[in-house]
Each structure stands twice: as structure tokens, then as C-alpha cells.
């Protein structure tokens, strides 16, 4: 009987698939897979709970390659273990690495390749997303303990740990004592600019993680036994763990090993030939010996019994709870939500409250959260300002994960990335909150949510100069435009209470897009005083106040400026000018509509005016060269009414702009 | 003879100016000034080198209130010390706190209030900007040691230290061993959401800073002697220092002291009355006893002899070196720059190189950097990709600050914030570099540069899907639009070598705006083969390829798509359609032009087509409802030519779009 392949053979299979694929593409990163193949082998062979036949098994351990540039490490592992079965990566997929349309793009992409848990590449995102996965595991386990019991493993690079995002992420994980989170640091001492010492000779990462409440230790990243023993210790800990693995970038490459040349370019035939000799791997490119492949496939099948036992535990759940678990993990909204929202809209139409939309958002959440148990809210230390905490969303604490409100701390980026992690983990619709201006801090994670097509619904309040006294550092003027410019990101800016709940509903219904609700600090009058069953906001724009007779003027506005537009309409009416007002709660959704809808909403009035307390950028697509009343620079500190006056964003100014153009 | 006022009286003067101003505005943050008044008193009275009569003295110590929400602490200090003399803040200014048009806006604004060293408020920015100031001090001292010898002090809050940016900042400071940087942490244990323990019970800040190579110690923030002794130890250290000051937020307020209620709202008459009793301060609002004011004014005058001695040292400099120092600190460009650039443009017009604009940028820098000694370049660990290192820009190291190239590490945000700090410090034109997609990581600091009206010229390469294989995580599609949307930020996207150097020149000439140069990874043909002395790019857009006869079509493009537009023009010509091509290297600068220039460049052709390998958002302002050839979603991993083909961004597609619209 043949002996089973050695550890080195298993690791070399990863190494050479990686260098050969990079070589074929003449593009990519051989250095990390060569250096980290040993620890990846230990992790997949001896540690990770997974069943390659079903990469969607909800109770699998998650593996996040935070250093996404080392994508060939992951693709090699997915191929070798047979992840995804018939849908899994083939050798041909590996040969198509970094080609248009392939399943092996330059960086791992969620939803694109079976077994890829999250999109990585922008550094720091993987580790921060993994924090959200680990949090989701604890929170889901608090409600479904018999079927949720797994860990999250991360492979992070120097770059991941240099990014500020890593600080936010490890602080959150340390605070919540996420002991099921285990991070391997690929400590190879090499950076693109040279030795890491050129730019980071000072940071003691082990001490740094310990200062954040983590366990942390050093191991030799070539020593399989030492790695495994460090993992076992980490699994037994009551804290998250960093395992600093000393590795050699480009391990085996004759001249590039241990240098920045090994990092991000094809190694070339001579280097690869030399590595084949050095590492005793005499096989041609893309050829894996049958015994090695078979050993790897056994690794892939290793979790099948666990998976089967889990299926039994799932089957033993009370049918209603099982259905609820499956609904939540499947990402379906509760059946009763529409009825709850309709009843609430009827109530609002009668009450017609004058209220800030942040308060309207709180009231909407008080209705939605009880009906949507998977909705998790929170705030980046602005709970009393964002108004995202309601009775149904009890706080989680390090000792009790049964709640669903998260105090993220002043960590907008860490919050947004962790929300992404909760969404890709499954079982939750996460929602963070801060001031709209500070979307800038979270933008790389917001972008990844859009790219991954995941449902995350953030609440960003204080959405314009209308926040007043805090002044230009806190007043968004360009953020609305910059978020509208982001593909697949939906920015909702409701004008009153009814629009607020409609925007919440529309955002929740978009299973494949993240949304941002931009809400005001200042009070706004009720505009929607007649109940309409249809969600008018969902189509992005609609006529909220028709003209009497044929409109000479159309006024387009969003959020707090819709009431101002309606006041302008009244002024114009007094002067005999018929104007209509279109509310544009979501320009992104509006541009998705069929052309006939867009045309009918934009209408044929001679003059089209836009009004928004923000920059004009992007509005031309609706108003053409019509006048725009808004901001052309940064804001000003002062009581909000005075600030609106100062910048001339008033009903009078809108009416005048329309009249001037009519007369032109 | 009267005894001099006690420490408590001096500190109380700050406290009550702060609470009274917040009370009058009914808006603001009394908690920090009440808690941190003691340490601020020690710092200004006993430590800070400054001369209130001249807040622009180049060799003053810098004080950065990173916790910008505590602005009244700073405004009180500026008033009490008489900073700015006749131009300084008055009691009336303090009474106008947070009012439109006042000199005392909600958060401190650089360039708006004498003595404010940098705009703060968005958390983490102050400490990271201060790192740049401390770096600038060392770098300027390396060349002008007799007149540059000062320190940078920071007051940072819990929020500053939670933000990821702080991690990048302290890592940079630790790496370069910026021993003249001393940070006070206002350790008050209170956050908006409650006790800090609710969201950060785990991070040991002192251990964290030590892990980054800092000194760090704890002191009682009420104990003036202990604070002073900690500062003296810090001044003697060879490392940057964190002094963790245990303080009480809202110190003296009867019921709010030590609670989150003290943080961010007017305390109310009863609380303030109680505080007056508790702190033995019987004076009415805004009244400072004469002896206290006089003692503070003496503090303000304390540095005058130092300043005078400095003036003498400056006068003793060799006249040419003195003139050079004054030119650099005054922010004037060298007189010879235009000639150097003109000669280089002539050379380029002859050579007509086919070259990536990132390489063209390197070549331009090789010409510009020797002529502009204050220009500092660097990269966030992408030196071989960004091409911003040239012979004239020697690297700085922790032991030698005489160079002017900075290895920032993978810290885009820390880089951008530190560049802001170098710019506001004076003596430098800083320039960072990374991939354009990762402007997202740096956005809050980019925004502050725009708000502060400072000259920072970043180089962001790999500016579109044209980067190819790295795929959608690295391919900017919306970043160009989102940066154009930012007020006072100039995004330059040159089309060839000549445009690249023109864009560099135009960016350098904008003394009051930051710029971003967006450069390609892929090669581009030379387009500007005839020398034109005028900087055509400076006006933002110009006709680069006229039509033969009257144009039926105008094609507008930027950067890598200009050559593609010209190829489309040729296709159309072959079909008998006269088209002109307009290069739009900087939409921001173009929109600044007088209307007649804009009209003449946009022209009257029947069809206006836009082409840019990015989203359409914003282009309507130029092309109206004309066709646009570009991106409508995220990119794709593959060789760049295949990616352009995949998305249909080709000369043929542009020509077809124009023809289709002509025929419509």
C-alpha cells in the first residue's frame, strides 16, 4: 500500500499551481502562495471544518484570505479540495487565471467563485470583514445554538495590518472577545518598497494585538506541528488570537525568495525551474500527481460526517424554528413585513407628524425591527444622534450575543466592513450608522458591499448643511453625489415620515444591493398625508405635488428640500405660474427605471429646476441645463435656518430661479 | 503687590469661557474644555514656544486640538493669550460661537481663525496631521537647522484613538522616531454612547503606543506638576510620546460631570451655576477678572524674546539661504520653474514618446523635482508602480531627514493626512501616491485638504480598468466622479507626456487647492507633438484635434481615452463625418472658466459624445443628453486591451454612438 503524500507534497501542490498560473497569465502574485502554503495546508488538512461538496453549508468554518493578492493560494486550495463539486474550479479555470470572464479573477470575488467567502484585495478589508463573520456566528448561535458552532480563520499580510482599518477591526474583536476568530499573520518581512523595515521597523504586532485584548504568539510558518499546536491553543482561548507566522516570501525561488521581487510579478521560467529543483517537485506545470490530488480530495471530504451530523441536528429542530433558520440563512424577508408597513403608513398619513427624518427613521425601525428579527442595528458612537436604537434591538455585550444592537465605537470603517462580514456570513441584515459626512471614512467597505452585491442598509444622519452648528467639517455637500456615483449603491434621501419607511422597505427588498438612508437632523413637515399602498419611493422618483393645469416648471428635489420645493410651488402659483414637484428619494433607483417611466416623471415642462442642499454634480441627468439651487462649496457653522439663508437655499430662491429661466 | 492668579483661576477662565459660549450658542461641547483645561493651562503657560503677537512665526511650537469638537478650549486659549494681536479673537467673537460668519465656527478651521494650526473635527485627523507637522519640522530643520527647532503637541480624545487613522499615524511617527511629537490623550473614559467600556473595554492605549515604538505614560490630568514633569521627560526622549491624562469630562458640572451628558450639548443654567460654585468662579458669563486676563496675556507674550532671538538667527543666515527659507515658508514657487517646464515640453514635442502617464509622471518629476526643492514625493508602498521616486528625491530615514522621498507604508489615509500636516506646517509641497482606487481610503484627509485650501499634489496611478488584471477591486470606475464632486479638489487626468507635465505645473500653481494626478498603468501614444508655450491643460479642457470643416460631432474625453477619441475621429472622417476632439484633463478647472470659454470649448456640434473609462456621472454637464461610452458598473480582471473590448470602450463604439445619434 502506498504511503500517503508528505506534508511538503501537499504544500508544493499549492505552490506550483500558484506560480504556474501566475506564469501563464504573466500577471499575479506568486510570493504569498509560495510562502504561506505550509500554513494553508495545516489549516485545510487539520483544522478547517468544511465539506467541499457544499461550500454553502451554513455551519462551515470560514476562511478569509485577507491578503487577496495571494488569490492563487485560495484558487489552488479550492481546486485541490474539490470545493463546489461539479461547479468547482477546474484546472482549466486555473489556467484562465486573470483572464476576462474567468472564474479566477486577479483578486477573490464573492459570489463569483464557489468557496470564496468574501471579496478581498483592498488591504485590511478581509480581516475586518472576518470580524463581522465571527460576530455573526456568535449572534446567530445565541438563537440557534445546535446548528451554529463554527470558527473564522484569516490569513493577513503586513499590508492588512498596516491599514488603519485593522486597528478598528481588532479593537472590535477584542472588545467583544470573539474567541472564534483566529488570524494568521503572514510575517514575511517584505513589502513592495523593500524590506518591511524600510517603512515599519517599529510596530511589534504581537504586543499590539495583546494591547487590544487578543492572544498572540509567534510560530515558524514552515513548522506544521508548531502551527497546529498554536491553532489548538487559540481554539481553547477565550480571546481572539493572532498567530504570527514567520514565513519566506517566494519560498523556493532561487534568487527571488525573501525579496520584494517575489511579491507581485510572474517569476519567469528560470526561477520556476529552480524552485522545482529546490522543492523536489519534478512535475510539469498544472500537473498534480494522482496521490497528491487524491489526498487533497480526501481533505475536501473530511467534513462530510460533520456535515451529516449537522443536518440531523437541523432536522431535529422544531419545524417552525427550522423554517425560521432556513429563511434567515436564505436571505428571505419575513412574509408579514409588507402588512406591518402598510398599516404603519396608514397611521402616518393620519398623524402627519412634523419630525426630523432621523426621528422618523427611529419610528420606522420601531415598527420594522420587531417584524424582521434578522435586522441588526448599531451606531459608530452616535446612538443618541442617529436614532437607530429601538426597544426590539437589545444591545449585545461581550457576555451576551442574543441582542441585535451594536455599539461599534468611533470606527465607521470597521463598522461597515464588519457589516459586510455579517451579510456574507448569512442570517442577518446588518445596519450601521453614523453621520453622512463620515461615509468618507467607510468608503472602501461601502464599495465592497456594492461590488459583492450584498444587502447592508446603513443609516447616515445629519445629511446636509441642515445639521447646522457643527459646520463644514461635518456638513456633507459632495457625499450624496459621490455615493450616487458608486455602482450598485443605493442612496435614499426621504422627505418625510412616509417616505422614510418606504425607503427602509425598498432598501430591505433589494437583496443584492447595499443602501444608505440619508436622514436629517432638522425637523421636516409631513408631505404624504394621503395613504397610498404602493411604495412610491421604490422607483426612485415620483410626482409628489402636481401642477394645477399644464406645468411650466418642474421642480426636482430630495429629502429636506422637497418641502422647500413645495413652498416654491406655492409662491409660483401666487404669481400665476403652474409648477409641479417631483420628489427624488433615490436617483440610483430612478435611473434603473424603464425609459418611459423616467420620461413621464421628468415631464415636458419648459423649465426644470433642481434643489438639493448639496452640490449640483449629477443632477444634470435630470434637469439638463436647468437652474439648480444648492451648494457650490463647503458649508458654514451656524443655526441651520441661518445656514440655509446664507447659501440662498430657500423657496424664494427656487421660485426666482424658475421665473428667471421662464423669462429668459 | 497682588499675588499672581492661581493655576485653578487660569484653568477656570478657559472652562467658563467655554461653557458660557456653548450656553449662549445653545450648541457645542462643554465637556472637553472643562476636563482638559488643566493640561491646556500647563501646556500654554509652561511649555509651548509661541509668541501670541505673531501666530505665523515659522519656528513656533504647533498645538493641534485633534478633538476639534472641544473648539471652545482652543478659542478660549487664543483669546486669553491674545493670539493674533489686533486680528485676534475678541470676547465678541466668543459670544458669536457657532454663528454664521463668525470666526468661531463649531470646529476649528485653518485659515479662518488666527492661531488655528489645522482644521479638526473629523476624528483622527488632528493626530495624523500633526505627524506630518512633526515630520516637516525635522525635514526643514535638516536644511535650516538654525531657524527650525520646534515641537508639535496634540490633544487627542478617545475618538481620535479609536479611528483607524490613528493607527497609521502612530506607526509612521514611531517608524521615523519623531521625538518632537507629544500627544496628550484626554482619557476621560466617556463616549457618546456612554462609558467607553461599552465599546472599548479592551484597548490598553499605553501598551498600544509602546508597541508602535512610542514612549507612553499615565498622569493625573488635574495634577499640573505631574503633567509638566511628564512633558519634560517627553522632550528628553528619543521617541514620540503619549501622555495619557486621566481627566473628568465636564469637570465641575454638578450632575453631568463624568457622564456622556457633559459631552456635546449646552449644560443649562443650573449646571453652570453649580459649576461656578463648585469651582469657586463667581464671575458672570464672559467676564474674566483683570488679573487673570493679564496673567494669560503674559503667557501670550512669554515667547517674544525667543522670537526675537530667532529673528536674529534668521538675519544671520547667508542672504540667499535666508531668501530661500522665506520663499519656501511663504509658499512661492521658484522663479525658474516655468522655463524648465517650457524647455521640457519642447523636448517632449520632438520625442513624442509612447508611454504610460505614470512613467510620463516620473519623467516630469525628474525635471520638476530638481527645480522645486520643497516638493516632497512618496508612496504608500507602491514605489515601483507609482513611479514617484526620482534621483532628486532621496529617501528620508529615521536617522536622516535631509531627503524628500517618504515610504509611507500601506497607509493611504495616514499619508494623506500627514501631507496635509506638512502643507500647513509650511516649507513643503507634499505629494503622496497610491492607486486611484484607494483614494477611497484617504478620502477624509483629501477632503480636509480641499476645505483648508492647501496645496497638496497627490499622484494616483492605475486610474481605470486600464490597469487590467488586478480586476474590479483595484479598478476605479466611480472615483474620478466622486473626486470631481468634491469642492476645491482638482482631479487631473492627462492624456500624454505633454499633458502630464502641464497638469503637474497647473497643480503646483494652485496655491490654494489640492490636486490629484490620475495616471495610467498602460502605455499611451503621444498626442501633443507641436510645442505650445501656453499650458493648455490649466484651463481644464481644450480642443486637441479640430474637425476638418464644421464639426457635426464633438468628442470629449480625458486621459487614456483621448487617443481613443482621436481614433474615433479618424473613423468618422472615413465616413465623411467631421468631428472634433476636446481633451478634458480637469473638469474641475474647466467649470471654473468664464462662460464664453466654456461655450467655445463645448462648441455647437449637433452631437456631443463623452468617452471615459469610468461612470458617466457628472459628464452630462458637458455632453447634455449626448451618448457616453464608458462604464456603468464595476470592472473585470483581464489584460487591459481585452477589458476595454469587453466593456465596448473602443474607437469603433465611439464612432458608432456618434453616427447613431446623428441619424436619430
Each residue's pLDDT tens digit, A389-436: 999 999 999 999 999 999 999 999 999 999 999 999 999 999 999 999
Best of B129, B159, B473 to disrupt the A interface by mutation (most A CBs within 10 Å)?
B473
CATH no., domain A538-663: 3.40.50.920
Return the closest-CA partner of residue A361 out of A515, A215, A541, A189. Answer: A515
Average of pLDDT values for B630-657?
98
Alpha carbon B163 to its chain's center = 17
176-195 in B: which are within 8 Å (CB) of A?
A: 177, 191-194
Q: So what's the pLDDT on residue B1?
A: 46
Which segments of chain B belong to CATH 3.40.50.920? 538-663
* A314 burial type by CB count under 10 A (0-12 exposed, 13-18 middle, 19+ buried): middle
Q: So what's the pLDDT on residue B136?
A: 98
CA–CA gap between residue A339 and residue B132 (Å, rounded): 56
CA–CA gap between residue B282 and residue B275 (Å, rounded): 10
* B545 burial type by CB count under 10 A (0-12 exposed, 13-18 middle, 19+ buried): middle
**Residue A86 pLDDT > 80:** yes
Number of neighbouring beta carbons within 10 Å of residue A291: 13
CA distances to A485, A489, B139 from A450, rounded to whole Å, are 12, 5, 42
Beta bridge partners of A217: A243
Beta bridge partners of A242: A183, A216
Q: Which of A102, A398, A469 sits opposite B106 (nearest CB)?
A: A469
- Check if B121 contacts A (Cβ < 8 Å): yes
Average of pLDDT values for B57-69?
98
* Rg of chain A over all Cα atoms, to the nearest angstrom: 27
**Residue A664 pLDDT > 90:** no
Asked whether the beta carbons of residue A485 and residue B487 sit closer than 8 angstroms, the reply is no
Q: How far is B567 from chain A (nearest CA, A)?
A: 24
Confidence of residue A1 (pLDDT cuts 50, 70, 90): very low
CA–CA gap between residue A606 and residue A663 (Å, rounded): 11
Percent of chain B with pLDDT over 90: 97
Position of cell 517674544? B304
- Check if B626 contacts A (Cβ < 8 Å): no
Return the closest-CA partner of residue A649 out of A583, A578, A555. Answer: A555
Asked whether the beta carbons of residue B199 and residue A28 sit closer than 8 angstroms, the reply is no
- CB distance A253 to A262 below 8 Å: yes
Return the closest-CA partner of residue B47 out of B241, B218, B288. Answer: B241
SS3 content of chain B, % helix, strand, coil (to 5): 45, 15, 40
Alpha carbon A408 to its chain's center = 15
**Residue B306 pLDDT > 50:** yes
CA–CA gap between residue A474 and residue B32 (Å, rounded): 18
- CB distance B33 to B67 below 8 Å: no
* B530 burial type by CB count under 10 A (0-12 exposed, 13-18 middle, 19+ buried): exposed
Q: Which of A158, A410, A488 sits opposite B163 (nearest CB)?
A: A410
CA–CA gap between residue A291 and residue A615 (Å, rounded): 63
* A448 burial type by CB count under 10 A (0-12 exposed, 13-18 middle, 19+ buried): buried
Average of pLDDT values for B227-252?
98
Nearest CA in chain A to B614: A485
Q: Tell me the chain A residues in contact with residue B615 when contact means C-beta distances shorter than 8 Å.
A: 485, 487
* A656 belongs to the catalytic site: no
**Cα-based torsion angle of the residue sequence B391, B397, B399, B404 in order, rounded to the nearest 10 degrees:** 50
3-state secondary structure B455-498: CCEEEEECCCHHHCCCCCCCCCCCHHHHHHCCCCCEEECCCCHH
Best of B164, B490, B626, B646 to disrupt the A interface by mutation (most A CBs within 10 Å)?
B164
- Find the catalytic residue in A412, A499, A561, A612: A412
Q: So what's the pLDDT on residue A2?
A: 58
Query: Strand locations in B175-307, DSSP E?
Result: 181-187, 190-191, 194-195, 215-220, 241-246
Q: So what's the pLDDT on residue A275?
A: 98
Q: Please tell me what DSSP assigns to residue A220.
A: E
Return the closest-CA partner of residue B97 out of B124, B119, B73. Answer: B73
Average of pLDDT values for A265-277?
97
**Residue B194 pLDDT > 60:** yes
CATH no., domain B337-524: 3.40.50.970
List, for residues A468-478, the tens digit of each pLDDT value.
Answer: 999 999 999 99
Q: Tell me the chain B residues in contact with residue A199 when contact means C-beta distances shorter than 8 Å.
A: 175, 381, 407-409
CA–CA gap between residue B611 and residue A2 (Å, rounded): 62
Which segments of chain A belong to CATH 3.40.50.970? 12-307, 337-524
* Binding-site entries of B for thiamine diphosphate: 69, 121-123, 159, 188, 263, 438
Q: In this structure, what C-alpha cell is assigned to residue A488?
A: 450598485
Q: Which of A162, A447, A484 sits opposite B411 (nearest CB)?
A: A162
Asked whether the beta carbons of residue A121 and residue B646 sit closer than 8 angstroms, the reply is no
List, for residues B96-106, the tens digit of each pLDDT value.
Answer: 999 999 999 99
- CB distance B538 to B490 below 8 Å: no
Tally the residues of chain A. Answer: 664
Is residue A312 within a helix (H) or strand (E), and if so which, with residue range? helix A304-316
CA–CA gap between residue B13 and residue B40 (Å, rounded): 12
Return the closest-CA partner of residue B631 out of B610, B613, B643, B650. Answer: B613
ipTM of this complex prediction, to 2 decimal places: 0.98
Q: Tell me the chain B residues in contact with residue A159 when contact means C-beta distances shorter than 8 Å.
A: 381, 410
B12-307 folds as: Rossmann fold (3.40.50)
Average of pLDDT values for B631-656?
98
Average of pLDDT values for A543-571?
98
Best of A165, A178, A411, A473 to disrupt the B interface by mutation (most B CBs within 10 Å)?
A473
Nearest CA in chain A to B103: A637
Q: How far is A309 from chain B (nearest CA, A)?
A: 37
List, for residues B256-292, the tens digit of each pLDDT value.
Answer: 999 999 999 999 999 999 999 999 999 999 999 999 9
Q: Tell me the chain A residues in contact with residue B485 when contact means C-beta distances shorter than 8 Å.
A: 478, 481-482, 485, 615, 617-618
- Check if A284 contacts B (Cβ < 8 Å): no
Q: Which of B106, B121, B633 sits opposite A488 (nearest CB)?
A: B633
Q: Rounded to two decimals, what is the model's pTM? A: 0.98
Amino acid at each position: 500500500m502506498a504511503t500517503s503524500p508528505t506534508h511538503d507534497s501537499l504544500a508544493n501542490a499549492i505552490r506550483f499551481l500558484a506560480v504556474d498560473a501566475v506564469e501563464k497569465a504573466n500577471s499575479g502574485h506568486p510570493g504569498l502562495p509560495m510562502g504561506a502554503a505550509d500554513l494553508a495546508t495545516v489549516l485545510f488538512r487539520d483544522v478547517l471544518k468544511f465539506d467541499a461538496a457544499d461550500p454553502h453549508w451554513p455551519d462551515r468554518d470560514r476562511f478569509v484570505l485577507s491578503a487577496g493578492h495571494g488569490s492563487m493560494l485560495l484558487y489552488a486550495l479550492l481546486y485541490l479540495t474539490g470545493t463546489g463539486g461539479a461547479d468547482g474550479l477546474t484546472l482549466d479555470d486555473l489556467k484562465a487565471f486573470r483572464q476576462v470572464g474567468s472564474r479566477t479573477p486577479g483578486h477573490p470575488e464573492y459570489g463569483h467563485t464557489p468557496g470564496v467567502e468574501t471579496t478581498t484585495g483592498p488591504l485590511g478589508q478581509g480581516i475586518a470583514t472576518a470580524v463581522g463573520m465571527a460576530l455573526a456566528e456568535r449572534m446567530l448561535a445565541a438563537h440557534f445554538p445546535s446548528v451554529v458552532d463554527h470558527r473564522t480563520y484569516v490569513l493577513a499580510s503586513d499590508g492588512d495590518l498596516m491599514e488603519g482599518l485593522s486597528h478598528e477591526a481588532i479593537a472590535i474583536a477584542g472588545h467583544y472577545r470573539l474567541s472564534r476568530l483566529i488570524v494568521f499573520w503572514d510575517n514575511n518581512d517584505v513589502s513592495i518598497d523593500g524590506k518591511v523595515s524600510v517603512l515599519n521597523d517599529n510596530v511589534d504586532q504581537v504586543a499590539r494585538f495583546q494591547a487590544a485584548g487578543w492572544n498572540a504568539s509567534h510560530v515558524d510558518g514552515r513548522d506544521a506541528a508548531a502551527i497546529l499546536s498554536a491553532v489548538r491553543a487559540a481554539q481553547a482561548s477565550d480571546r481572539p488570537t493572532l498567530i504570527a507566522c514567520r514565513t519566506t516570501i517566494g519560498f523556493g525561488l532561487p534568487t527571488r525568495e525573501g525579496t520584494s521581487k517575489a511579491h507581485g510579478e510572474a517569476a519567469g521560467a528560470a526561477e520556476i525551474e529552480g524552485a522545482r529543483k529546490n522543492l523536489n517537485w519534478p512535475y510539469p506545470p498544472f500537473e498534480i500527481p494522482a496521490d497528491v490530488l487524491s489526498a487533497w480530495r480526501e481533505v475536501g471530504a473530511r467534513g462530510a460526517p460533520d456535515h451529516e451530523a449537522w443536518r440531523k441536528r437541523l432536522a431535529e429542530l422544531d419545524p417552525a424554528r427550522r423554517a425560521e433558520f432556513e429563511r434567515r440563512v436564505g436571505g428571505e424577508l419575513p412574509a408579514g413585513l409588507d402588512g406591518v408597513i402598510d398599516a404603519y403608513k396608514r397611521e402616518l398619513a393620519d398623524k402627519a407628524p412634523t419630525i426630523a427624518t432621523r426621528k422618523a427613521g427611529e419610528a420606522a425601525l420601531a415598527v420594522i425591527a420587531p417584524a424582521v428579527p434578522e435586522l441588526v442595528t448599531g451606531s459608530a458612537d452616535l446612538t443618541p444622534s442617529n436614532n437607530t436604537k429601538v426597544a426590539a434591538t437589545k444591545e449585545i455585550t461581550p457576555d451576551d450575543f442574543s441582542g441585535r444592537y451594536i455599539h461599534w465605537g468611533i470606527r465607521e470603517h470597521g463598522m461597515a466592513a464588519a457589516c459586510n462580514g455579517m451579510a456574507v456570513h448569512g442570517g442577518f441584515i446588518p445596519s450601521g450608522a453614523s453621520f453622512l459626512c463620515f461615509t468618507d471614512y467607510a468608503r472602501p467597505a461601502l464599495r465592497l458591499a456594492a461590488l459583492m452585491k450584498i444587502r447592508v442598509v446603513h443609516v447616515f444622519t445629519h445629511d446636509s448643511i441642515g445639521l447646522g452648528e457643527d459646520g463644514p467639517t461635518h456638513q456633507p455637500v459632495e457625499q450624496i453625489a459621490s455615493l450616487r456615483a458608486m455602482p450598485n449603491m443605493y442612496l435614499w434621501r426621504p422627505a418625510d415620515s412616509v417616505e422614510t419607511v418606504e425607503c427602509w422597505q425598498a432598501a430591505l427588498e433589494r437583496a443584492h444591493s447595499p443602501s444608505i438612508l440619508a436622514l436629517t437632523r432638522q425637523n421636516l413637515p409631513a408631505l404624504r398625508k394621503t395613504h397610498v399602498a404602493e411604495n412610491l419611493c421604490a422607483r426612485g422618483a415620483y410626482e409628489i405635488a402636481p401642477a394645477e393645469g399644464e406645468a411650466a416648471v418642474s421642480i426636482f428635489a430630495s429629502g429636506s428640500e422637497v418641502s422647500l420645493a413645495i413652498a416654491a410651488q406655492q409662491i409660483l402659483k401666487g404669481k400665476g405660474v403652474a409648477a409641479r414637484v417631483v420628489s427624488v428619494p433615490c436617483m440610483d433607483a430612478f435611473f434603473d427605471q424603464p425609459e418611459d417611466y423616467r420620461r413621464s416623471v421628468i415631464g415636458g415642462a419648459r423649465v426644470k429646476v433642481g434643489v438639493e442642499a448639496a452640490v449640483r454634480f449629477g443632477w444634470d441627468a435630470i434637469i439638463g441645463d436647468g437652474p439648480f439651487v444648492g451648494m457650490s462649496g463647503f458649508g458654514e457653522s451656524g443655526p441651520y435656518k441661518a445656514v440655509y439663508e446664507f447659501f440662498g437655499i430657500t423657496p424664494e430662491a427656487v421660485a426666482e430661479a424658475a421665473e428667471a429661466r421662464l423669462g429668459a
